[in-house]
Amino acid sequence: MQTTLPYPLLDVPAEASHRVALLRDVPPGELLIHEIYLSVQGESTFAGLPCVFVRTSVCDSRCRWCDTPHAFNQGTRMTRADVLAKALSFGCPLVEITGGEPLLQADVFALMTELCDAGKTVLLETSGAHDVTVVDSRVHVIMDLKCPDSGESHRNRWANLDALKPSDQIKFVIASRADWDWTASVVRKQRLDSRFTCLVSCVFSSVRPVELVGWLLESGLHRVRMQLQMHKYIWEPTTRGV
């Protein structure tokens, strides 16, 4: 059952609607923003590049291993124009929209288009629970498919796989051997490794990178890319705003 909320694009199950309550007071033309900062991209095929991060507040999912719970209910209302100006002020060619879950906020779509119009390479990190068909086609979508141990795999919006572009990226975060087996099965069944860039990374405290590399190599999935969350090695894993 879906709830009816002010934003036309909100698509949140009734049991999670309380998690998006903060967004009800955000009027059109504004966004609830957790932080905007310059750092180094830690994941995806863009890893290692300087990148401006626009982190939106609020998420309707609750992945057991989430490393940004501070974004669930802390944020500042900003006009979309101010968010755009702040993101552009760093003079960095790469901008990532992340969260929280960015696609919960209607103005995110126009913001991404405006960043593309300004000549930026725009990345979107999204949970995979929301429709990506309305995202500007110039945006590089980095979409999670949630593994069972996240507790949110029932929210995977499988129809999104037909909306993604070959240049988009699918990310699996692995917390156990069972998660890896699920991932390998999904990649094979959906032929994901020939349709998109597939990324696998491990939950920092649950699976050792050497274990995941072993599982990857023995699987024969030679087009799936192992990645480490680079920022957790550069800074202390719990450091925020990096």
The residues of the shown chain that bind ligand SF4, judged by CB under 6 A, are 59, 61-63, 66, 68, 99-101, 127
Q: Which residues on neighbouring strands pair with residue 174, listed in sequence order?
A: 202
* Minimal distance, residue 62 CB to ligand SF4, in Å: 5
* Minimal distance, residue 185 CB to ligand SF4, in Å: 21
Phi, psi (rounded to 5 degrees) for 213: -60, -40
Nearer to ligand SF4, 66 or 116 (CB): 66
Nearer to ligand SF4, 219 or 229 (CB): 229
Nearer to ligand SF4, 95 or 103 (CB): 103
Q: How many CB atoms lie within 10 A of CB 46?
A: 17
Cα–Cα distance measured from residue 145 to residue 186, given in angstroms and rounded to the nearest whole number: 9
* Minimal distance, residue 74 CB to ligand SF4, in Å: 13
* Minimal distance, residue 183 CB to ligand SF4, in Å: 16
H-state helical runs in the chain? 80-89, 107-117, 177-190, 192-195, 209-219, 231-234
Q: Which residues on neighbouring strands pair with residue 30, listed in sequence order?
A: 79
Nearer to ligand SF4, 103 or 184 (CB): 103
Q: How many CB atoms lie within 10 A of CB 40?
A: 17
Which of 104-127 are b and which e, b meaning 16 or more Cβ less than 10 Å from the residue's Cβ?
bbbbbbebbbbbbeeebbbbbbbb
* Minimal distance, residue 194 CB to ligand SF4, in Å: 26
Nearer to ligand SF4, 107 or 144 (CB): 144
